[in-house]
Structure 1
Amino acid sequence: MVGQGSVNHNSRKFNAKNTDPERSHLNITYCQENIKAVFHEMFDEALKRYNDKQTRADRRIENYYEKIRSSKQEKPFHEIILQVGNKDDMSAGSEDGQLAAAVLDEYMRGFQERNPQLRVFSAHLHMDEATPHLHIDFVPFTTGSKRGLDTRVSLKQALAAQGFKGGTRGDTEWSQWVRSEKEQLAAVMERHGIEWEDKGTHDQHLSVLDYKKEQRAKEIAQLDKFKAKKQKEVAGQEQRLKELAPAVKNMERLAAEFSADPEEVLPEPGPLESAKSYREKKAKPLWAKIVKVLRSVYRAYLDLKSKFERLQADYGREVSKNSSLSERIYEVCAERDSLKGKVRDYERVRRAIGLEQADRILEAAYQQEQAEKERKRAARQKTRVGAR
């Protein structure tokens, strides 16, 4: 998994609800450096070379870390989280959990050499949660750049320098690198006698707001797809109505013209034949046959008319559903836009008060919420016991 990273959480400067402090001494810290100090070490010389070339004061960069932290293109650092198995088959307190920890440890010890363009500054193996897992935080960088600092932060260029050339939107430098690292982990697992079952689960670890945004986007896509399907069905029904309409009109005309009693519409006999002979021997038998056919046609018409009316009703319902879908899509889009605004506000607050301070505030709020939930749960349980 990949996430924004919380160095304070990884180093256990504060403990979340899902940790067991009694097992925290089993955790392994591979490195734990201050991110700002790492930036000075990596980029100060390049920053000086860049600023010395500038003739305008407004183009100079005073603090490279702050510039990247507020950038929309890059992040100061990235974090990946690796885990072998789950709490059911590799729980931290079991022998298999120890095996998983050994796999992650071996993987970690080859990570930096394998990824020279990803400067690792914080890495921790956690054994105090349900399943052993590894956090690796790194700064991706490129050298020899013709744009900006000659040594600068760039995830895309860092991975490209390691041989990962993105081709398409679904096959980026990042996705290629992730597959490669999974293969490296699988190779370590195999050396320890563990077979990798590839489930293809590599979605990013999203914040709550990001998750809601993603879910709303998925819902909009599903609604759009469903709406398009319904529009297609409505269009098909409209076409069928157009095709049926002339036939219905013709049937109504024929029914009106030929459903009368033959006694009323037969012509009088001609001069060469008696009326009785004409009517009894020719006209009435022929007309009777015609009326029989027309009545049969009329019955078919009534059946067709019934189907036509049902089709009109179905069409009306589909139009109504389509209208409701349009309203729902509008509501979801509005909610998505609102969430985007909240995310932007949230990021502004984080930048304003500092990432570490924001993490502390969030963790304190989380702990307070959990305590309040526990208090209410205990109160409900006490009420149930008293009622008995």
Structure 2
Amino acid sequence: MRTQVAIIGAGPSGLLLSQLLHKAGIDAVIVERVSGAHVLSRIRAGVLEQVAIDLLDEAGVGARMHREGLVHGGFGMLYAGRRHRIDMNTLTGGKNVMVYGQTEVTHDLMDARTAAGLPTYYEASDVQVLDFDTQRPRVSFTHAGQSYELQCDFIAGCDGFHGVCRASVPRQSIEEFEKVYPFGWLGLLSDTPPVHDELIYVNSPRGFALCSQRSKTRSRYYLQVPLTDRIEDWTDAAFWQELRLRLDEEANAKLITGPSIEKSIAPLRSFVTEPMRFGRLFLAGDAAHIVPPTGAKGLNLAATDVKYLCNALVDYYQAHSEAGIDGYSARCLRRIWKAERFSWWMTSLMHRFPDDGPITSRFQEAELDYLLNSHAGSLSIAENYVGLPLDFAEPAQ
């Protein structure tokens, strides 16, 4: 087989890239190691920055998002028993975020690819990326018992943190930066109305909590828990009881509980790979970087990686310019590190670390008191939360 771009991974980054390339008249084949149903079963966050919203519109898949997504112009931050609102819309001159689940984004992109009749090989095994340091890269894999070799001009590694693409790069050619946090997030999804019409981030003496949502009838809540906790240790009743202990009186009065649809414990890490280009292999999304979910940046960073890569490939094929592909890694990383910094900072500000003493909680409260009662402090939070513009990745003149 022959294509222009081989995309490894059918998560939201691979699917979005394929759809943008299709709109630009560039052929792409997707190879995915698990089934489409398994991809859709992954429960992930769903706070979309304006840049991501615009990209989904550009890809032609934004209609349902605009119908069903929830536009948020602010969010709450609760500490010392008091809740404060970050008015993102006012502080940033009219910018908002959209609450729309990553599963729904993936579903919309899958439907668009199927409707266009574009090739996707789900449940592919023995996937290998080959010769990406030459002008003729290849992807080999097995699908439905048959062996395939896919010849291409470029390979896009959108296959996540544990994927084959980054693992195939020679160790001497790559540098990895990582911070693993000493706690996880216990998440519970329920068909109950959200406790508030906006998200609430909680700094509590008992640990962090987050009140989030997927729709007006489906809620997602999180609790900071030790990494030693197991999901079977947490009944629904225990989860709701602990959440109540971390919320303020107003939220407790409005909290509606119910049986969980899904519960899971996710570890937190900050991770960045440098560079993100190796010959004709490009990493994008979780294959290149992971952020703790506190800053709501994971899906949004993947989307901007994809936009930079798509622009670079369009320039290559249509303008016969290699400037975009040569600058891809540096352009992505400049934006990535700022989002990594914000996510690390939010995590450090809102969580209780096991080795910290009482003085650290006082530091956190003092910083929150400053930030939430200072226009400059609140503006910094709002500007980073709604997302930096795409051209923020360009070097300063």
Question: Shorter-chain TM-score: which interval?
Answer: under 0.3
Higher relative contact order (CA 8 A, sep 6+): 2
Q: What TM-score results when the alignment is normalised by the length of structure 1?
A: 0.26
- Structure with greater proportional helix content: 1
Look at both structures and tell me which one has the larger radius of gyration over its CA atoms.
1
Q: What TM-score results when the alignment is normalised by the length of structure 2?
A: 0.26
- Structure with greater proportional strand content: 2
